[in-house]
Amino acid sequence: MSETGKLRSAEWFESKSIGGFVARSWTKNQGYPHHLYKDRPVIGICNTWSELTPCNGHFRILAEMVKRGVYEAGGFPLEFPVMSLGEALMRPTTMLFRNLASMDVEETIRANPLDGVVLLTGCDKTTPSTIMGACSVDLPTIVVSGGAMLNGKFRGRDIGSGTDVWKFNDDLRAGVMTPDEYSEAEACMSRSDGSCMTMGTASTMACMVEALGLTIPGGAAIPAADARRKRLAHLAGNRIVEMVREDLKLSDVLTRKSIENAIMVNAAVGGSTNLVVHLLAIAGRMGIPLALDDFDRLGSHLPLLVNLMPSGEFLMEDFYYAGGVPVVIQELKDHLHMDAQTVMNKPQSEVTAGATCYNRTVIASIDAPFKPEVGIAVLRGNLCADGAIIKPSAASPHLMKHRGPAVVFEDIEDYHARIDDPALEIDENSVMVLKGVGPRGYPGMPEVGNMGLPKKLLEKGVRDLVRISDGRMSGTAFGTVVLHVAPESAIGGTLALVHNGDMIELDVEQRSLHLDVPEAELSSRLAVWQPPVRRAERGYVNMYISHVQQANVGADLDFLVGKSGAVVDRETHA
Ligand code: FES
């Protein structure tokens, strides 16, 4: 809405200029009657549907449900596609394209006659990319997440996306599982519409959205296959029209308070480490100061309440039936900003009032938590001057304080070439170090930080080692894995200087990560260090390498930080 209360879309659809004629005439070829073009909020439905993003494969139906709600509330819905990022297929990593997709979202929203936006999000990066883009325009915005798949079912037990893949893979390599069993498990794991049903990154993002107040309350955990997911989409269509009339912009909801709530809720649900890099980028777009240490300060003293894989045993379907995110918010009410605004134009205290837990094994109470003090720990030390992170709830308690010799892989190809070499000198005390997987180095900061253990250790029953890299790991993964080391090795961070056999000390309680090599020796290694070969000379990837920021500030492109608003002050036609 403009300051005069006029709809933004009226500049296109109510204009008497040639531009108005063109805007109305050409869209009328879709059969829209004339009355839709006056005094109706035009709602963009930003759809990340793609057959290349299987987790979002049901989004055309969800979009139709949103349209029902928009029409019912007196709006005019116009659906548009944006770049979709599917974890299962895209190479080398969707993270390389998160910022590109955000540019698509931002420019499409700004350039078109939209008054409000519904973001349809599901697979991991489709949530942060769309929110980042929407932040930079700042119209009234509501998120509809697509929901998770039903629980995987394999030979009489529940199996979780990703989490059980890593286990099956280790079992296969250790000879505990046959290739036929491995193949059978594929269809058993992914048996309905929806995203990964563990508390992986997609579910983490859905919970983040609800904690930020950006969706219809209770929306994060509804399974994709449950009819209540469609109902939620319909209600979001209703609500976005009202939000336009109330002029409730994204920046009215997405605030420092709501971001702090999201960090705390993430600790309690055992959410993915990927939340850190995405929330930093979202805050950067909105111009809200947020530092890596805020995640530790706000989240690490909180207990884990939600017993979901990979930190626990249950899955998103169970989480929904137990009461979902509203229960978690109510359990944390003494810690959260319960006065934080939501898309309902009501505070969190009001929209979650009356939340009831139906299964305390799945969602524990704050007085009797599932695990004490978890969250995400931020590490500092000479190996990560600008920080690194670890997820204690997914790590092995006996490795949380550890000193061991480094086994260094110079890049991902070196890792693949040598990990199962019988001559590799590695044992259960070793610290695996992987270089070259940061934002610039890979490029794109892939989810390889939870690198698989060598076969010879798996056969001995070893299931975890301390692993350190400048990359990320899947939200479905687990292990004593130190991630997001900054500055990354490709720009000469200390990680680049680690040699085989150097002693590394990890002390999570003390928040330290130390390379036990004298400063003078590190200086002489740096003097002869050569940066890796640049992996792109043209196109988007070349631009990405030139402009991507480090993980500790969100890995956004430097020129995308901040917002430009919704005004376009020049017309298409003379
Ligand atoms: Fe899409 Fe996990 S692969 S959510």
Q: What is the DSSP string of 81-95?
A: E-----TTT-SS-TH
Who lines ligand 1 at CB under 6 A?
A: 55, 87-88, 123-124, 161, 195-196, 200, 202
What CATH number corresponds to the domain at position 105? 3.40.50.2300
Q: Give the residues of the chain that fall short of pLDDT 70.
A: 1-4
In a domain, 539, yes or no: no
Count, residues in the chain: 574
Give CA torsion, residues 457, 429, 509, 333, to 10 deg: 0
CA of 126 relative to ligand 1 center, distance in Å: 10
Tokens of 340: 């934080």
Q: Which amino acid is at 405?
A: P
Q: Give nearest CA residue, ligand 1 atom 3.
A: 87
Q: Under the phi-then-psi rule, with left for phi > 0, alpha for psi from -120 to 50, and beta for the rest, what region is 359? A: beta
Quote the Cα angle for 463-464-466, to 5°. 165
Same domain, 397 and 479: yes
My answer on whether 343 and 481 are in the same domain is no
| DSSP-assigned letter for residue 37 | G
**Domain boundary residue among 189, 217, 250?**
189
In ligand 1, the atom with minimum distance to the C-alpha of 54 is 1
Domain identity same for 58 and 197 = yes
β-bridge partners, 557: 548
Residue 356 lies in a domain: no
* Candidate from 124, 205, 474 with most ligand 1 atoms within 8 A of CB, to mutate: 124
Task: Say whether both 344 and 259 belong to one domain.
Answer: yes
The residues with which 152 forms a beta bridge, in sequence order, are 159
User: For tokens 């349209």, what's the residue?
Assistant: 67
Residue 235 lies in a domain: yes
Asked if residue 369 belongs to a domain, the reply is no
The rounded Å distance from CA 374 to ligand 1 centre is 24
Instruction: Please indicate, yes or no, if residue 473 is contained in any of the structural domains.
Output: yes
Let me know if residue 562 belongs to a domain. Answer: no
Closest ligand 1 atom, residue 161 Cα: 2
What was the pLDDT predicted at 504? 98
Q: Is residue 225 located within the same domain as residue 245?
A: yes
Looking from the CA of residue 203, the nearest atom of ligand 1 is: 4
Task: Point out the ligand 1 atom lying closest to the alpha carbon of residue 474.
Answer: 2
210 CA → ligand 1 middle, Å:
18
Considering the domain architecture, whether residues 487 and 393 belong to the same structural domain is answered as: yes
Domain range for 183 is: 153-189
Same domain, 142 and 210: yes
Question: Are 146 and 197 in a shared domain?
Answer: yes
d(CA 68, CA 230): 10
Nearest ligand 1 atom to the CA of 55 is 1
Structural domain contains residue 399? yes
CATH code where residue 494 lies: 3.50.30.80
Instruction: Give residue 273 CA to ligand 1 midpoint distance, Å.
Output: 15
Residue nearest to atom 2 of ligand 1 (CA): 196
Domain shared by 75 and 34, yes or no: no
Read off the pLDDT of residues 30-88 as tens digits, 9 standing for 90 and up. Answer: 999 999 999 999 999 999 999 999 999 999 999 999 999 999 999 999 999 999 999 99
**Nearest atom within ligand 1 for CA of residue 162:** 2
Statement to judge: residues 409 and 293 lie in one domain: no
**DSSP element (H, E) containing 142:** strand 141-145
Q: Which of 278, 284, 195, 191 is nearest to 563 (CA)?
A: 284
Question: Mutate which of 196, 209, 447 to test ligand 1's pocket (most atoms within 8 Å of Cβ)?
Answer: 196
If one counts the domains in the chain, the total is: 4
Q: What is the largest CA-CA distance in the chain?
A: 78
CB 513 within 8 A of CB 379: yes
Q: What's the pLDDT score for residue 474?
A: 87
For atom 1 of ligand 1, the residue with the nearest CA is 123
- For residues 273 and 410, membership in a common domain is answered with no
Question: Do residues 65 and 237 make contact, with C-beta atoms less than 8 angstroms apart?
Answer: yes
Residue in 162, 184, 161, 182 with CA at minimum distance from that of residue 173: 182
Strands (E), 427-565: 431-434, 466-469, 481-482, 503-507, 512-515
Q: Provide the b/e sequence for 162-186 (b: ≥16 CB within 10 Å).
A: bbbbbbbebbbbbeebeeeeeeebe
Q: Which of 177, 176, 169 minimizes the C-alpha distance to 419?
A: 169
| Residue 124 and residue 200 in one domain | yes
* Residue at 498 is within a domain: yes
Question: Which of 334, 351, 368 delimits the end of a domain?
Answer: 351
What's the predicted TM-score (pTM) here?
A: 0.97
Single-letter residue type at 494: T
Other beta carbons within 10 angstroms of residue 300's beta carbon come to 18
Say if CB 196 and CB 202 are below 8 A apart.
yes
Angle at 518 between CA 517 and CA 522, to 5 degrees: 80
Testing ligand 1's pocket by substitution, the residue of 123, 164, 166, 316 carrying the most ligand atoms inside 8 A of its CB is 123
Query: What spacing in Å lies between the alpha carbon of 60 and ligand 1's midpoint?
Result: 18
